[in-house]
Amino acid sequence: MDEWTDDILDRAYAQATSYEEKALFEAVKQSIRETDKRLEQAKGQLDGMAWDKEGWE
């Protein structure tokens, strides 16, 4: 997650007045982290496939 997004979500969390709002912002942050992780894994997989000559068909 980039710093800007993290800062925005942290400010929104700090200003939240209910448990539901705070839970929502935490869930959004977790979702973004998980998406970032999966994107990095997919990049690694694509890079690995590109270097595997035997897989080129």
Say if residues 29 and 9 touch (Cβ distance below 8 Å): yes
What is the pLDDT, as a whole number, of residue 54? Answer: 77
Map out the domains of the chain as residue ranges: 3-43
Task: Give the chain's end-to-end CA distance (angstroms, integer).
Answer: 35
Per-residue pLDDT, 53: 76
* Residue range 3-52, pLDDT digits in tens: 999 999 999 999 999 999 999 999 999 999 999 999 999 999 999 888 87
Report pTM.
0.78
Alpha-carbon distances of 42 from 37, 39, 46, 51, rounded to whole Å: 9, 5, 6, 14
